Amino acid sequence: AQSVTQLGSHVSVSEGALVLLRCNYSSSVPPYLFWYVQYPNQGLQLLLKYTSAATLVKGINGFEAEFKKSETSFHLTKPSAHMSDAAEYFCAVISDSNYQLIWGAGTKLIIKP
């Protein structure tokens, strides 16, 4: 069965430091992958998506993600963290059986001043 694994339920970085949030997926077909962000007590906002075009995908708020087929990964990065990046981040893949989203458990990003 397909799955999405996000390593680390909590990630803490200093303001100005590199942000790296990890996402690994399993899929028997070329995957379609998404990253969403959720601020406290709000809905989810789409950050970026991979749809088999360029392997490096740029999103909103300075985030980008690189699709690596050999590693079955779609890690999210940002060169310099801001306090406003503190939120929970979810990775998801479209199921190849029913086309619904399969979600990772989420990673809470904590920014230290």
Partner 1 sequence: SQTIHQWPATLVQPVGSPLSLECTVEGTSNPNLYWYRQAAGRGLQLLFYSVGIGQISSEVPQNLSASRPQDRQFILSSKKLLLSDSGFYLCAWSVPAGVIDTQYFGPGTRLTVL
Q: Which residues bind partner 1 (CB under 8 A)?
A: 32, 34, 36, 41-46, 49, 51, 90, 94, 99-101, 103-106
d(CA 90, CA 108) in angstroms, rounded, equals 9
Instruction: Compute the least distance from the CB of residue 37 to partner 1, in Å.
Output: 11
Residue that has been written with the tokens 């306090």 in this structure: 83
Q: Least separation, in Å, of the C-beta of 83 and partner 1?
A: 22
Tell me whether residue 22 or residue 49 sits nearer to partner 1 (CB atom): 49
Which among 99, 86, 94, 73 has a CA at the least distance from the CA of 5?
73
Which is closer to partner 1, CB of 17 or CB of 44? 44
Taking the C-alpha atoms of residue 76 and residue 89, their distance in angstroms, rounded to an integer, is 9
